């Protein structure tokens, strides 16, 4: 069968489609033969360079362009690095031949809309295509070669680009998908020097016409890499070069090799990924038990969600609680006064722990019903919680007089009421920036090592050790950090909150944590507006010791979008006007946002990661990270040091999240 390259039925040129088969650039998972000579991190960095270079060079080749990606959990991360001229899809299961066939079949059976009679009717029919698939191992492949391949497919069934190692760097088909094409990929001796010859043999046996491209070299070994560098060096800026992109490519390869060959490498007994309150609290607890600890953070310590927290510590009791999350709250609540005093003695920093009490208000039937249930539960636990009249509320908090007046007919719980109030004396607050600052200082005093601007990209667990790979260095105006680092550790604890998503996929945790943005207003008024914390549903007023008042917070599932928004702050201003109009004249001193890590069941993940020796997780604390940090630190330190745990951690085990759908 020899095709003409023209769709005579529709009188339109056959569509041209380009695909690139590529894995995500995880160290240890790509270019393993090359990694044996230059290291897994170097090899992964080069693979990433080759992928992005091809994406740039071939961004206008073909009418549609696809990166065909694996593994599934890295698809989103891969897509983020590509230009807008590319689309992405997942590789199928099976061997290389089956994965290639799946993509070709999907592209060569695409239907196209066609006007049958000048536009009055339209039908969908299969249209022949010219489809080309390449790998990411041949960075010198350029747009001219791809165009030549498409031109060959106008007059041939098959086009091949032979590689010097006996394989091929490009294969293309024309027309519609056929079993004869399948015969070229089934039961092929992949990764051998017989692939090209065997493919040519099968093309002839199937009576398909074949066109060949110039021979090129895949870059899979150190010798091939050195050959590439030699080839590219011949095209220096002042010498004639057939391809203007070759010299920049050489410079990028040299930059990668220079950086990765001198990458920082360090060791630690326990490495904690994430320098928020959970990671810092665990580090401090472990250091007090004489464990060597290093903390890595992608940014500055304590400047993520932990810094943005309002610092409310609701009441809890350990001795009467039976529910796992309530026992964790009870343990933390019990520990906080001791921790506050110990941190003050050790660092001189007062975290401003204050037993200020809290008012819990409700002004809809649903909220009232929920609070009746919650207060009954607190009573069952022995937590003091008293319903008060609205008059008593206003006597204690005069700035709520307007809200109470709007509901003045309802002072008792019952049918038809429109508002209710409860007083909870055992509610505390702390100043969260001071808490994180004290934890950092306490950790430093005990020898904990901190490495800021160290973003972990890969976790490689093997028997007896865990290797962390990532990029380091503070971002500048010129762009993000490009230096690589590696850390060898006996045990690793992942405490990165919403940042866990970067590496969660390889640990099968990709759907476990959902970021939920909250926005906060900070008000400055002449006199403190409240004596206690005011809670209504998920909204609150927190009067701080320094005279400022925090107003929060909304809940928005917006992915990883940081920052405040006019709409979000407007919601908080409406809340102020409705409940405390006396604060209308207060100055909006500051506003900020944070991304809370939410799990599907509201329980944090605490414990070892299945099938990943030495890897643990303590993350997903949602709105309670500050409150649960002491308890989480103690139970995690017990796990690491082999001590008997006082809490049953089965409800927090890693992996149960995968038994449920994502909450998004």
Q: How confident is the model at residue 256 (pLDDT cuts 50, 70, 90)?
A: low
Dist. CA 28–CA 43, nearest whole Å: 8
Dist. CA 172–CA 566, nearest whole Å: 52
Dist. CA 650–CA 302, nearest whole Å: 29
End-to-end CA distance of the chain: 50
Same domain for 547 and 502, yes or no, is no
pLDDT of 120 above 70 = no
Domains: count for the chain? 3
Predicted confidence at residue 266, as pLDDT, reads 85
pLDDT of 413 above 50 = no
Q: How confident is the model at residue 70 (pLDDT cuts 50, 70, 90)?
A: very high
Predicted confidence at residue 7, as pLDDT, reads 38
For the chain, what is the mean pLDDT? 85
Residues 6+ apart with CB under 8 A from 148: 213
More confident residue, 425 or 258: 425
What is the arithmetic mean of pLDDT over 232-252?
58
Say which CATH number the domain at 614 has. 3.50.50.60
Among 200, 230, 259, residue at a domain's last position = 259
Q: What share of the chain is helix, strand, coil (3-state, %, to 5)?
A: 35, 25, 40
pLDDT of 153 above 90 = yes
Which range has the worst mean pLDDT, 155-164, 225-234, 258-267, 527-536? 258-267
Asked if residue 120 is part of any domain, the answer here is no
Say which CATH number the domain at 220 has. 3.90.550.10
Give the model confidence (pLDDT) of 568-578 as tens digits.
999 999 999 88
Same domain for 170 and 100, yes or no, is yes
The closest of 183, 174, 165, 182 to 211, measured between CA atoms, is 174
Asked if residue 119 is part of any domain, the answer here is no
Predicted confidence at residue 8, as pLDDT, reads 39
Q: How confident is the model at residue 233 (pLDDT cuts 50, 70, 90)?
A: confident
Which range has the worst mean pLDDT, 281-285, 329-333, 459-463? 459-463
Predicted confidence at residue 642, as pLDDT, reads 92
More confident residue, 510 or 70: 70
Same domain for 42 and 93, yes or no, is yes
Same domain for 104 and 148, yes or no, is yes
Among 598, 621, 638, residue at a domain's last position = 598
Asked if residue 8 is part of any domain, the answer here is no
Predicted confidence at residue 661, as pLDDT, reads 43
Which of 257-261, 334-338, 643-647 reaches the highest mean pLDDT?
A: 334-338
Same domain for 283 and 253, yes or no, is no
Same domain for 338 and 366, yes or no, is no
Predicted confidence at residue 553, as pLDDT, reads 84
Contact 210, 158 (CB under 8 A): yes
Predicted confidence at residue 416, as pLDDT, reads 47
More confident residue, 284 or 412: 284
Percentage of residues of the chain with pLDDT beyond 90: 53
What is the arithmetic mean of pLDDT over 482-486?
77
Residue count (the chain): 664
Predicted confidence at residue 1, as pLDDT, reads 29
What is the arithmetic mean of pLDDT over 381-409?
90
Which range has the worst mean pLDDT, 135-139, 232-236, 308-312, 426-430? 232-236
Asked if residue 11 is part of any domain, the answer here is no
Dist. CA 202–CA 121, nearest whole Å: 42
pLDDT of 511 above 60 = no
Distance of CA 507 to the CA centre of its chain: 12
Predicted confidence at residue 257, as pLDDT, reads 63
Same domain for 154 and 253, yes or no, is yes
Same domain for 224 and 272, yes or no, is no
What is the arithmetic mean of pLDDT over 290-294?
96
Residues 6+ apart with CB under 8 A from 357: 423, 424, 425, 426, 427, 531, 532, 533
What is the arithmetic mean of pLDDT over 469-489?
75
Predicted confidence at residue 471, as pLDDT, reads 84
Q: Where are the alpha helices (DSSP H) in 273-408?
A: 277-288, 305-308, 324-347, 365-381, 390-396, 401-406
Same domain for 150 and 253, yes or no, is yes
The closest of 173, 176, 192 to 184, measured between CA atoms, is 173
More confident residue, 599 or 337: 337
What number of other Cβ atoms are within 10 A of residue 128's Cβ? Answer: 23
Predicted confidence at residue 3, as pLDDT, reads 34
Give the model confidence (pLDDT) of 96-118 as tens digits.
999 999 999 999 875 444 444 44
Q: How confident is the model at residue 4 (pLDDT cuts 50, 70, 90)?
A: very low
The closest of 397, 319, 407, 327 to 357, measured between CA atoms, is 397
pLDDT of 48 above 60 = yes
The model carries a pTM of 0.65
Same domain for 485 and 561, yes or no, is no
Asked if residue 117 is part of any domain, the answer here is no
Asked if residue 121 is part of any domain, the answer here is no
Q: How confident is the model at residue 602 (pLDDT cuts 50, 70, 90)?
A: confident
Predicted confidence at residue 13, as pLDDT, reads 62
Predicted confidence at residue 464, as pLDDT, reads 74
Q: Mapping DSSP to helix (H, G, I), strand (E, B) and coil, where does residue 512 land? A: coil
Same domain for 613 and 499, yes or no, is yes
Q: How confident is the model at residue 5 (pLDDT cuts 50, 70, 90)?
A: very low
Dist. CA 654–CA 657, nearest whole Å: 7
pLDDT of 492 above 80 = yes
Predicted confidence at residue 247, as pLDDT, reads 61
Dist. CA 65–CA 146, nearest whole Å: 12
Predicted confidence at residue 481, as pLDDT, reads 54
Asked if residue 589 is part of any domain, the answer here is yes
Asked if residue 91 is part of any domain, the answer here is yes
Dist. CA 3–CA 180, nearest whole Å: 15
Among 546, 563, 598, residue at a domain's last position = 598
Domain containing 323 equals 267-350+430-510+601-658
Say which CATH number the domain at 414 has. 3.30.9.10
Q: How confident is the model at residue 414 (pLDDT cuts 50, 70, 90)?
A: very low
Same domain for 95 and 201, yes or no, is yes
Give the model confidence (pLDDT) of 586-597 as tens digits.
888 889 888 888
pLDDT of 506 above 90 = no
What is the arithmetic mean of pLDDT over 63-85?
90
């Amino acid at each position: 069968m020899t095709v003409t390259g023209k769709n005579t039925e529709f009188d339109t040129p056959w569509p041209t489609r380009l695909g690139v088969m590529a894995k995500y650039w995880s160290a240890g998972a790509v270019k393993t033969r090359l990694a044996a000579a230059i290291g897994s991190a170097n090899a992964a960095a080069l693979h990433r360079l080759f992928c992005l270079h091809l994406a740039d060079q071939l961004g206008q080749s073909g009418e549609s362009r696809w990166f065909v990606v694996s593994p599934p959990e890295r698809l989103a991360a891969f897509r983020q690095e590509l230009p807008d001229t590319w689309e992405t899809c997942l590789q199928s299961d099976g061997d290389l031949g089956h994965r290639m066939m799946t993509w070709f079949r999907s592209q060569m059976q695409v239907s196209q809309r066609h006007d049958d009679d000048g536009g009055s009717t339209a039908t969908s029919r299969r249209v022949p295509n010219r489809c080309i698939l390449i790998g990411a191992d041949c960075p010198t492949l350029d747009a001219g070669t791809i165009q030549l391949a498409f031109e060959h497919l106008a007059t041939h069934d098959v086009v091949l680009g032979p590689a010097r190692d006996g394989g091929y760097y490009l294969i293309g088909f024309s027309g519609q998908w056929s079993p004869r094409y399948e015969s070229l990929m089934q039961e092929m001796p992949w990764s051998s020097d017989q692939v090209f010859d065997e493919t040519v043999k099968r093309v002839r046996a199937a009576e398909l016409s074949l066109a060949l491209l110039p021979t090129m070299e895949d870059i899979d070994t150190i010798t091939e890499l050195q050959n590439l560098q030699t080839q590219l060096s011949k095209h220096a800026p002042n010498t004639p070069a057939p391809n203007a992109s070759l010299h920049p490519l050489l410079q990028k390869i040299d930059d990668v090799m220079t950086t990765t060959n001198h990458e920082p490498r360090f060791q630690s007994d326990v490495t904690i990924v994430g320098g928020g309150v959970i990671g810092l609290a665990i580090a401090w607890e472990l250091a007090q038990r004489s464990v060597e600890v290093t903390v890595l953070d992608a940014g500055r310590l304590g400047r993520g969600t932990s810094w943005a927290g309002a610092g409310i510590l609701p009441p809890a009791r350990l001795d009467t609680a039976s529910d796992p999350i309530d026992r964790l709250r009870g343990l933390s609540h019990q520990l906080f006064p001791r921790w506050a005093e110990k941190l003050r003695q050790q660092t001189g920093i007062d975290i401003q722990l204050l037993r200020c009490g809290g008012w819990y208000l409700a002004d809809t039937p649903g909220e009232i019903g929920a609070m009746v249930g919650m207060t009954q539960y607190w009573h069952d636990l022995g937590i003091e919680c008293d319903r008060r009249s609205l008059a008593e509320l206003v006597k204690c908090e005069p700035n709520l007089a307007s809200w109470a007046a709007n509901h003045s007919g309802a002072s008792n719980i019952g049918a038809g009421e429109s508002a209710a109030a409860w007083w909870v004396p055992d509610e505390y607050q702390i100043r969260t920036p001071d808490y994180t600052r004290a934890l950092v200082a306490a950790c430093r005093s005990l020898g904990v090592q901190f490495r800021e601007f160290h973003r972990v990209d890969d976790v490689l667990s093997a028997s007896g050790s865990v290797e962390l790979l990532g990029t380091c260095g503070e971002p500048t105006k010129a762009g993000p950090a490009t230096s690589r680092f590696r850390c060898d550790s006996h045990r690793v604890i992942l405490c990165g909150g919403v940042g866990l998503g970067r590496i969660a996929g390889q640990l099968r945790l990709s759907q476990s944590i959902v970021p939920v943005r909250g926005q906060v207003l900070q008000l400055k008024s002449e006199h403190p507006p409240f004596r206690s914390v005011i809670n209504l549903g998920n909204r609150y007023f927190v009067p701080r010791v320094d005279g400022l008042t925090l107003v929060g917070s909304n809940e928005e599932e917006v992915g990883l979008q940081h920052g405040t928004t006019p709409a979000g702050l407007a919601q908080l201003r409406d809340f102020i006007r409705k409940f405390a109009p006396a604060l209308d004249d207060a100055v909006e001193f500051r506003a900020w946002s944070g991304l809370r890590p939410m799990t599907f069941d509201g329980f944090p993940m605490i414990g070892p990661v299945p099938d990943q020796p030495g890897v643990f997780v303590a993350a997903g604390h949602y709105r309670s990270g500050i409150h649960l940090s002491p308890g989480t630190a103690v139970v995690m330190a017990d796990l690491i040091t082999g001590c008997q745990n006082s809490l049953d951690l089965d409800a927090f085990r890693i992996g149960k999240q995968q038994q449920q759908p994502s909450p998004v």
